[in-house]
Amino acid sequence: MLEVKVPLRRRLIAEFCGSGLLVTVVVGSGIAAEALSADDVGLQLLENSTATVFGLAVLILIFGPVSGGHFNPVVSAADWLLGRRAGTGLSGAEVAAYSTVQVVGAVLGAVLANVMFDLPAMQISATDRASVSHGIGEVVATAGLVLLIIALARSGRAGLSAAAVGAYIGAAYWFTSSTSFANPAVTIGRIFSDTFAGIAPSSAPLFIAAQLIGAAAGLGLVLLLYPDAPQAADRVVVPHPATTTTSTSKET
């Protein structure tokens, strides 16, 4: 019996579906919250964040064993940067493929949410979120997310990632000024929802730049705290390195 990586095609399908459904959860719950609690923004945020916590945890449980459950280009890039010298984690080409399907899935996830709530399928958000404070919030949110995910993988606790990542994102909705997008694919997807959960196209570049800075900061902290973390890249977000087969061929 020979162990090989899960075929890339299957991993990309998992990342596409997971990223798309994550944005559907975020946008759909935002639309519902805005309709149900029109005069209470705090309650809207509570409803939106609660749905996101549980939705993200479930999606990691469903798709994580296939692709790792990244659903996030900065997580995939961190996985590659962490493991490239140790020969673990994603390759550069796989990161590009993961990121592409994550973004496409996120956009279609927003469209799906719009259609489910009888809104125009294609919208462009007018919600301006561009400010220094929002940018700092995204740096903090993304750095914490990367640190959490890799710390769990390195310490053999990646099985807790569904609950832990969901809990972190739920908390970061409230303790960051940006409500913790922490994900370039989700940021792009949310452009296509002119609702409570949307973000204007003019605000997205600031968010994405802050997310990249935050990911670099989180990865730097990981390497300072856990110098042996590169060996754990195959377990980000959850273990997904191999499947057993009797053939020596490898599907890509």
Number of C-beta neighbours around residue 96 at 10 A: 14
pLDDT at 3: 47
Q: Residue 130 burial (CB < 10 Å; 0-12/13-18/19+)?
A: middle
Q: Cα–Cα distance between 75 and 88 in angstroms, integer?
A: 14
Q: Give me the mean pLDDT over the 65-82 stretch.
A: 93
Does residue 223 lie within any of the structural domains? yes
From 86, 84, 90, 47, select the one nearest 70 (Cα to Cα).
Answer: 90
Structural domain for 27, as ranges:
2-243
> Model confidence at 157, in pLDDT bands (50, 70, 90)?
confident
Does residue 251 lie within any of the structural domains? no
> Model confidence at 214, in pLDDT bands (50, 70, 90)?
very high
pLDDT at 252: 40
Encoded amino acid at 206, one letter: L
> Model confidence at 35, in pLDDT bands (50, 70, 90)?
very high
Does residue 197 lie within any of the structural domains? yes
Extract the tokens encoding 191. Answer: 């452009």
Residue with tokens 């005069």: 39
Does residue 135 lie within any of the structural domains? yes
Give the model confidence (pLDDT) of 106-140 as tens digits: 999 999 999 999 999 999 999 999 999 999 999 99
Cα Rg of the chain, angstroms: 18
From 113, 75, 107, select the one nearest 191 (Cα to Cα).
Answer: 107
pLDDT at 239: 66
> Model confidence at 242, in pLDDT bands (50, 70, 90)?
low
Does residue 64 lie within any of the structural domains? yes
Q: What is the CATH number of the domain that holds 213?
A: 1.20.1080.10
Q: Cα–Cα distance between 7 and 251 in angstroms, integer?
A: 5
Give the model confidence (pLDDT) of 226-239 as tens digits: 888 777 766 777 66
Task: Name the domain count of the chain.
Answer: 1
> Model confidence at 246, in pLDDT bands (50, 70, 90)?
very low
Q: Give me the mean pLDDT over the 201-215 stretch.
A: 98
Q: Give me the mean pLDDT over the 24-46 stretch.
A: 96
Q: What is the pTM of this model?
A: 0.90
Does residue 248 lie within any of the structural domains? no
pLDDT at 247: 40
Determine what percent of the chain is predicted with pLDDT higher than 70.
Answer: 91
The answer to whether residues 199 and 129 touch, using CB atoms and an 8 Å cutoff, is: yes
Does residue 249 lie within any of the structural domains? no
Extract the tokens encoding 138. Answer: 């995204």
Extract the tokens encoding 140. Answer: 């903090």
> Model confidence at 63, in pLDDT bands (50, 70, 90)?
very high
- Mean pLDDT, the chain, integer: 90
Long-range CB contacts for residues 59-63, cutoff 8 Å, separation at least 24: 59/18, 59/21, 59/22, 59/25, 60/18, 60/161, 60/162, 60/165, 60/166, 60/237, 60/238, 61/162, 62/18, 63/14, 63/15, 63/17, 63/18
The answer to whether residues 125 and 201 touch, using CB atoms and an 8 Å cutoff, is: yes
Does residue 113 lie within any of the structural domains? yes
